[in-house]
């Protein structure tokens, strides 16, 4: 590579600079959409939601709503001027339910009023009558009824049946894995402002400004250029604002179009929780063949996920689950079937890891089962199955892994965490402690970076240099707290040789950088920093050409660094150089564009190279379990994570810690509970428990892998960091299983499902009768379904026919 491709990282990149808005976040001065001033005559919206899981709307009388104080208008499906849909991939997501309702909480109508309180009070006055239909509320029931939002996907390699038949040992089992509420601190929100030319300006809290623009345009029946979407920052998105903000923006825009006034829709937490999709919960069945050392010879796997009533992003989410069922392990003979189940619950969506965590939890459950069968440390079984470097290094989707560092990374973590000594200490402590049992586990992570939808791997940027040398950047990525804008600023600072403090980033705006991809798949920096770098580079190159001619110097003699431009023996302030260039009519504004190279894959066969590279990490967790109450505590975590050459170690460590703890929440305390009529009961922080600062372990050692470098040509050889650390939390779940095994044996440990709530722990220990009901029937082919298992199917559900194959 030459110096032009890889300018030495300057003063900004690689430094632990504070988040560009940290001072605003901590002083409460950062503006979120709800903080923007609204016109004096602005109106507010509330949504009327379905009370039944599945049914036909027999009648909907909104007269009492309209008559209520402060109400200006009501909106139903009939008031949508264009298309009544916000499903971006499959058009199966009505903005307002029309005729059929498919989940409790689905929006039926909206109330436009002079205040949010007035709109909310009026919304409950609607008289809605339904003809109820049977509702499917359970994943296995959906599989049995072949109720799917999309066709099932099959991916196979090798001869699974023969390898299973020949394997010295086989096991089969099931695993259940709960979903997760995003619980972004800022709920969904949209503000629609009609413009004098008839176009619509939307402020939306979104990870996907372009999709919001397109959905609003379709709903209004206008071309895309009549809608402008802006977002300066989100108070968290975590995948929950990839597709769903479009619904809120569309309703606000329809109301603004109808009334000609500014309209804001900011649902309260309960509305947001009952209306929006979550992480997919999964049911997993497996049959595995292995040798005496626990090396996997064949694996037959069925994954079934709750997609809810529509497709949303469930196709790509489940594809990513299929791509990640290997985690770090070579699976020579593998068959995966992935069912995308249609249930009458909210339409599930992206959530940090995007299906990857679920696929990885499936294989980790299999590994754990093998280790318990062989009576050995699960870490040994994990290591025995690791991908090789030159052999056993091709994934089940035909991608050769070129950057495999998992064995070295694991070895280093085993050393630095004192794993062996602590294993002995935990066993000794357990022998002497009858009630409190400790557990220890190390789990690895390999996570593929790129959107699996290849066309999304592109980005654009716009960089403006002003004549005093100050700089404004626009790019297609969205800031949700992850530090994207900070990293992009650092990269542009180094490209122009100016201080990061000389640069400001604008709100993301579809009228400045168009046709953007969502900020997702952890690739925000990989894509947008490269695009912004390209934009800044064109400006620097134009300035260099101009200065070279004006000062009669070869271009090589002109250097941009530390806010100055060196011209042979003399130097100019960057601002003076910019002013001279402008005066000579040289453009100081440029767009930049980037498309990820090398990636391709065939969605039909699912084979190819869907990922540019992999991010790796590993974690050791130590926990304590109170076997009388089921309460658990994370005592210590040691994390070693690979971010390549870090662009900003402070932000990267923050992403690792935050991602890890969010994963711990998913696998331990966060439990979504629907009642037997399909209503979500865990709809507020009082009943839905997310981890807090006090759940952070007393002893934590979080380290970036040293001397790490992305072998691919990413921005300054860094690696994406947004999602992969979430999966480090698998160590906590497996440490809990280890503790349960110490208390009540391996069979008890195998009964522990995720989330490992106190109830689930007590259930596994055999100390309580019911937590989450065990699997009813196998989804594996050619396996006779057990017929005598007690059913917990809700009473209003259809009966389950036998065996689904
Ligand atoms: N970090 C914060 N603070 N808030 C968020 O909402 N979202 C995560 C991750 N880290 C999130 C976060 C998710 S789901 C993704 S895909 C990435 O950030 C997106 O940003 P990036 O691509 O710039 O890493
Ligand atoms: Mo992240 S789930 O890709 O928004």
Atom of ligand 2 at shortest distance to CA of 352? 2
Specify the DSSP element, H or E, that contains 420: helix 419-432
Q: What's the burial of 798, exposed, middle or buried (CB within 10 Å: 0-12/13-18/19+)?
A: middle
How far apart are alpha carbons 734 and 368 in whole angstroms? 8
Which runs of consecutive H residues, i.e. helices, occur in 551-688? 574-583, 649-664
Q: Which residues line ligand 2 (CB under 6 A)?
A: 207, 239, 242, 350-352, 354, 520-521, 723
CA dihedral 240, 244, 245, 248 (to 10 degrees): -140
Encode pLDDT of 95-141 as tens digits.
999 999 999 999 999 999 999 999 999 999 999 999 999 999 999 99
Instruction: Look at residue 772 in the predicted model and tell me its pLDDT.
Output: 54
Q: Output the six-digit token pair for 448.
A: 């593929």
Q: Lay out the sheet containing 436-449: strands in order across.
A: 436-449, 613-626, 632-641, 699-704
- Cβ(654)–Cβ(641) under 8 Å? no
- Looking at the predicted structure, is the pLDDT value of residue 588 above 60? yes
Task: Tell which one of 723, 724, 725, 726 to mutate to probe ligand 2, the residue whose CB is within 8 A of the most ligand atoms.
Answer: 723
How far apart are alpha carbons 171 and 297 in whole angstroms? 12
Instruction: Look at residue 88 in the predicted model and tell me its pLDDT.
Output: 82
How far apart are alpha carbons 658 and 653 in whole angstroms? 8
Indicate the SS3 state at residue 566: strand
Residue 11 confidence class, pLDDT cut points 50, 70, 90: confident
How far apart are alpha carbons 500 and 663 in whole angstroms? 33
- Cβ(24)–Cβ(82) under 8 Å? no
Residue 9 confidence class, pLDDT cut points 50, 70, 90: low
Selection from 194, 46, 41, 56 nearest residue 124 by Cα: 46
- Looking at the predicted structure, is the pLDDT value of residue 620 above 50? yes
Instruction: Look at residue 776 in the predicted model and tell me its pLDDT.
Output: 61
Which sign does the torsion angle of CA 86, 32, 715, 708 carry? negative
CA of 451 to the centre of ligand 1 (A): 14
Share of residues in the chain with pLDDT > 70 (%): 95
Q: Got the DSSP string for 140-155?
A: HHHHHTT-EEEEEEEE
- Any idea which ligand is nearest the CA of 240? 2
Instruction: Look at residue 7 in the predicted model and tell me its pLDDT.
Output: 45
Give Cα separations from 744 to 368, 747, 766 (angstroms): 16, 8, 8
Count of H-run helices and E-run strands, the chain: 20, 29
Instruction: Look at residue 782 in the predicted model and tell me its pLDDT.
Output: 62
Instruction: Look at residue 89 in the predicted model and tell me its pLDDT.
Output: 87
CA of 238 to the centre of ligand 2 (A): 6
Instruction: Look at residue 774 in the predicted model and tell me its pLDDT.
Output: 56
Atom of ligand 2 at shortest distance to CA of 237? 4
DSSP 680: B
Specify the DSSP element, H or E, that contains 523: none
Q: Output the six-digit token pair for 663.
A: 């994963």
How far apart are alpha carbons 66 and 432 in whole angstroms? 69
How far apart are alpha carbons 678 and 563 in whole angstroms? 60
- Cβ(296)–Cβ(329) under 8 Å? yes
Residue 54 confidence class, pLDDT cut points 50, 70, 90: very high
Helix axes 419-432, 406-416, angle to 10 degrees: 50
Instruction: Look at residue 786 in the predicted model and tell me its pLDDT.
Output: 37
- Looking at the predicted structure, is the pLDDT value of residue 770 above 80? no
Distance of CA 572 to the CA centre of its chain: 46
Q: Which residues pair with 614 in a beta bridge?
A: 448
Encode pLDDT of 680-734 as tens digits.
999 999 999 999 999 999 999 999 999 999 999 999 999 999 999 999 999 999 9
Residue 29 confidence class, pLDDT cut points 50, 70, 90: very high
Give Cα separations from 521 to 110, 450, 684 (angstroms): 33, 6, 28
How far apart are alpha carbons 458 and 484 in whole angstroms? 16
Strands 296-308 and 334-342, how do they pair?
A: parallel
- Any idea which ligand is nearest the CA of 655? 1
Selection from 537, 486, 568 nearest residue 6 by Cα: 537
Encode pLDDT of 432-476 as tens digits.
999 999 999 999 999 999 999 999 999 999 999 999 999 999 999
Tell me which residue has tokens 């050692």.
Answer: 701
- Cβ(663)–Cβ(726) under 8 Å? yes
CA of 404 to the centre of ligand 1 (A): 24
Distance of CA 645 to the CA centre of its chain: 23
Instruction: Look at residue 775 in the predicted model and tell me its pLDDT.
Output: 58
Tell me which residue has tokens 């309702």.
Answer: 101
- Cβ(304)–Cβ(142) under 8 Å? yes
Strands 263-265 and 43-49, how do they pair?
A: parallel
Atom of ligand 2 at shortest distance to CA of 722? 1
The pTM of the whole model exceeds 0.85? yes
CA of 232 to the centre of ligand 1 (A): 15
Specify the DSSP element, H or E, that contains 763: helix 758-765
CA of 481 to the centre of ligand 1 (A): 7
Residue 794 confidence class, pLDDT cut points 50, 70, 90: very low
- Cβ(180)–Cβ(351) under 8 Å? yes
CA of 546 to the centre of ligand 2 (A): 43
How far apart are alpha carbons 800 and 793 in whole angstroms? 9
Q: Got the DSSP string for 491-513?
A: HHHHHHT--GGGEEEPPEETTTS
Distance of CA 40 to the CA centre of its chain: 37
46 backbone dihedrals φ, ψ, rounded to 5°:
-135, 155
Encode pLDDT of 364-385 as tens digits.
999 999 999 999 999 999 999 9
Percentage helix, strand, coil, to 5, in the chain?
Answer: 30, 25, 45
- Any idea which ligand is nearest the CA of 484? 1
Atom of ligand 2 at shortest distance to CA of 238? 4
Encode pLDDT of 741-762 as tens digits.
999 999 999 999 999 999 999 9
Residue 251, CB half-sphere, CA atoms under 13 Å: how many? Answer: 32
Task: Tell which one of 278, 352, 516, 724 to mutate to probe ligand 2, the residue whose CB is within 8 A of the most ligand atoms.
Answer: 352
Q: Which residues line ligand 1 (CB under 6 A)?
A: 236-239, 352, 480-482, 484, 519-525, 655, 658, 720, 722-723
- Looking at the predicted structure, is the pLDDT value of residue 2 above 80? no
Atom of ligand 1 at shortest distance to CA of 523? 22
Encode pLDDT of 485-512 as tens digits.
999 999 999 999 999 999 999 999 999 9
DSSP 130: E
Q: Is the peptide bond preceding residue 755 cis, with omega within 30 degrees of 0?
A: yes
Residues forming the active site: 723
């Amino acid at each position: 590579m030459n110096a032009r491709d890889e300018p030495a990282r300057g003063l900004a990149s690689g430094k632990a600079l504070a988040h560009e808005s940290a001072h605003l976040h901590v002083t409460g001065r950062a503006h979120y959409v709800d903080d923007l001033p609204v016109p004096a005559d602005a109106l507010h919206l509330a949504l009327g939601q379905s009370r039944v899981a599945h049914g036909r709307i027999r009648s909907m009388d909104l007269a009492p709503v309209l008559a209520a104080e402060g109400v200006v208008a009501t909106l139903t499906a009939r008031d949508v001027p264009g298309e009544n849909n916000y499903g971006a991939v499959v058009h199966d997501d009505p903005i307002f339910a029309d005729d059929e309702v498919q989940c409790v909480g689905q929006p039926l109508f909206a109330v436009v009023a002079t205040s949010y309180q007035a709109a909310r009070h009026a919304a409950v006055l609607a008289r809605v009558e339904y003809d109820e239909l049977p509702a499917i509320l359970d994943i296995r029931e959906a599989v049995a009824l072949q109720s799917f939002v999309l066709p099932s996907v099959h991916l196979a390699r090798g001869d699974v049946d023969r390898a299973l038949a020949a394997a010295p040992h086989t096991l089969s089992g099931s695993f259940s894995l709960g979903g997760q509420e995003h619980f972004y601190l800022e709920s969904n929100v949209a503000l629609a402002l009609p413009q004098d030319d008839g176009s619509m300006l939307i402020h939306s809290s979104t990870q996907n400004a372009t999709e919001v623009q397109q959905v609003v345009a379709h709903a209004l029946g206008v071309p895309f250029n009549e809608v402008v979407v802006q977002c300066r920052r989100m108070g968290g998105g975590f995948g929950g604002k990839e597709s769903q903000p479009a619904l809120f923006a569309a309703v606000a825009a329809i109301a603004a179009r109808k009334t000609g006034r500014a309209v804001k829709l900011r649902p309260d937490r309960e509305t947001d929780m009952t209306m929006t999709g979550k992480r997919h919960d999964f049911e997993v069945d497996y049959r595995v063949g292995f040798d005496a050392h626990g090396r996997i010879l064949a694996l037959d796997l069925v994954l079934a996920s709750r997609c809810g009533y529509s497709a949303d992003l469930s196709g790509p989410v489940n594809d990513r689950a299929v791509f990640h069922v290997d985690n770090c392990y070579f699976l020579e003979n593998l068959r995966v079937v992935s069912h995308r189940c249609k249930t009458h619950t909210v339409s599930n969506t992206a959530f940090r890891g995007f299906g990857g965590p679920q696929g990885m939890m499936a294989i980790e459950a299999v590994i754990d089962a093998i280790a318990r069968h062989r009576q050995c440390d699960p870490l040994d079984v994990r290591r025995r199955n690791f991908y090789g470097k030159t052999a056993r290094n091709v994934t089940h989707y035909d991608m050769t892994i070129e950057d495999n560092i998992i064995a070295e990374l694991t070895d280093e973590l085993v050393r630095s965490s004192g794993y062996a000594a602590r294993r002995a200490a935990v066993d000794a402590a357990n022998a002497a402690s009858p009630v409190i049992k400790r557990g220890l586990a190390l789990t690895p992570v390999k996570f593929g970076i790129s959107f699996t939808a290849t066309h999304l791997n592109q980005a654009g940027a716009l960089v403006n240099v002003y004549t005093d040398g100050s700089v404004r950047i626009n790019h297609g990525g969205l800031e949700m707290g992850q530090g994207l804008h900070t990293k992009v600023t650092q990269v542009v600072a180094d490209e122009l040789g100016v201080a990061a403090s000389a640069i400001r980033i604008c709100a993301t705006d579809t009228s400045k950088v168009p046709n953007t991809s969502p900020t997702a798949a952890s690739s925000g920096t990989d894509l947008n920093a490269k695009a912004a770098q390209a934009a800044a580079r064109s400006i620097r190159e134009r300035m260099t050409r101009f200065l070279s001619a004006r000062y009669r110097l070869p271009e090589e003699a002109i250097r941009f660094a530390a806010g100055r431009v060196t011209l042979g023996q003399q130097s100019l302030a960057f601002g003076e150089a910019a002013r001279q260039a402008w005066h000579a009519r040289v453009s100081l504004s440029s767009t930049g564009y980037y498309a990820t190279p090398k990636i391709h894959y065939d969605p039909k066969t699912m084979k190819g190279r869907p990922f540019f590279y992999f991010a790796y990490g590993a974690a050791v967790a130590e926990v304590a379990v109170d076997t009388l109450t089921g309460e658990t505590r994370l005592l210590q975590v040691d994390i070693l994570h690979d971010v390549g050459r870090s662009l900003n170690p402070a932000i990267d460590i923050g992403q690792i810690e935050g991602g890890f703890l969010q994963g711990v929440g998913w696998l331990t305390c966060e439990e979504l509970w629907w009642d037997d009529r399909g209503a979500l009961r865990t709809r507020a922080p009082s009943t839905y428990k997310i981890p807090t600062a006090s759940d952070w372990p007393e002893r934590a050692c979080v380290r970036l892998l040293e001397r790490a470098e992305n072998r691919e040509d990413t921005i300054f050889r860094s690696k994406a960091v947004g999602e992969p650390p979430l999966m480090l939390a698998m160590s906590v779940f497996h440490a809990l299983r280890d503790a349960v095994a110490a208390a009540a044996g391996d069979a008890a440990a195998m009964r522990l499902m995720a989330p490992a709530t106190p109830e689930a722990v007590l259930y596994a220990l055999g100390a309580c009768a019911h937590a989450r009901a065990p699997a009813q029937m196998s989804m594996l082919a050619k396996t006779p379904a057990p017929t005598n298992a007690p059913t917990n199917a809700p009473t209003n559900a259809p009966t389950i026919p036998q065996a689904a194959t």
